[in-house]
Amino acid sequence: MSTWDRFVDTFFNGKVMLKYLPDILSGMVVTIELAVLIVLSGLAAGLALALVRSLAIRPLNWLIIFIVDLFRSLPPLVIIVLMYFGLPYAEISPSGFVSTWLSLAFVLMAFSEEIFWAGITSVHKGQWEASRSTGLSFGQTLINVVLPQALRLTIPPLTNRTIAITKGTALGTVVAVTEILGEASSAVSNSYNPSPLMMGAAAYLVLFLPVVVLARRLETKFAWKR
């Protein structure tokens, strides 16, 4: 066997790949489930916090700022490990899936709150005053006047963050979530062949590359005009 053949036989072994393809596919399903849950709950919670913050209730805002700072400064893996290995000592035992989901959702919540909040504050004060003076309530002003302008502004930084945090689903493998990396790693140790890992890597690209390309387009479309 030539070196090249040996290389292909080791890293792209057809038989091994075929055998473990179903595992990788089921890993992809878990990764997608996790990703969708994280994005939906993280962004919703972040927007909710930013809206509460716009009510300008002092003690509440301090609390929000503290929570946001906390989840921005802790590494996601530390939060996941803390939940999965720490909480059971308090008689709460979240599964690896739930630990990963909640941890990354909290992190996304923190980052997106900052971005949404910056977007809301960037809308000129005159906009608030003008719309309040036409008789719109605080809530109506926020939803119909301020948010549409604010959200547009937040899209470029938000897509970037969301992708970076959602990629973190791979961290779930540390707490035994059977997502792509977890499935690929156990397939490697079962088959003693790295081909499943190459498949896993390809699976991530299949899932995330289109999102990255789409994000690039969105970013150009909504780019800040200088």
Partner 1 sequence: MIQTFFNIEIIAAAWPIVLSGLLNTILLSLIVVPLGLFGGLILALLASVKNPLVRWPLMAWVDFFRAFPPLVLLILLFAGLPFAGLELGGFACVAIAFFLNTGAYYGEIFRAGIDSVPAGQVEAGRSTGLSRLQAMGYIVLPQAVRNVLPDLLSNTLEVVKLTSLGSVVAVPELLYQARQAQSLTYNPTPIVVAAIIYFLMLWPLVRLLSRLENRALAGRR
Q: What is the contact surface with partner 1 in residues (CB under 8 A)? A: 7, 10-11, 68-70, 72-79, 81-82, 85-86, 89-90, 114-115, 117-119, 121-124, 153, 157, 163-164, 167-171, 173-174, 180-181, 185, 188, 193-194, 197-198, 200-201, 204-205, 208-209, 211-213, 216, 224
Nearest residue (CB) to partner 1, 22 versus 86: 86
The CB-of-214 to partner 1 minimum distance in angstroms stands at: 11
Nearest residue (CB) to partner 1, 102 versus 180: 180
The CB-of-135 to partner 1 minimum distance in angstroms stands at: 25
The CB-of-207 to partner 1 minimum distance in angstroms stands at: 8
The label of the residue with tokens 């809308």 reads 123
For 72, 75, 85, 147, 172, the CA distances from 93, given in Å and listed in that order, are 24, 21, 8, 38, 15
Task: Give the alpha-carbon dihedral of 16, 19, 20, 26, to 10 degrees.
Answer: 160
Nearest residue (CB) to partner 1, 147 versus 171: 171
Residue 101 near residue 128 (C-beta atoms within 8 A): no
The CB-of-134 to partner 1 minimum distance in angstroms stands at: 21
The CB-of-75 to partner 1 minimum distance in angstroms stands at: 4
Report the candidate in 76, 139, 85 with the shortest Cα–Cα distance to residue 110. Answer: 76
Nearest residue (CB) to partner 1, 137 versus 152: 152
Nearest residue (CB) to partner 1, 57 versus 213: 213
The CB-of-201 to partner 1 minimum distance in angstroms stands at: 6
Nearest residue (CB) to partner 1, 178 versus 193: 193
202: left (phi over 0), alpha (psi -120 to 50) or beta: alpha
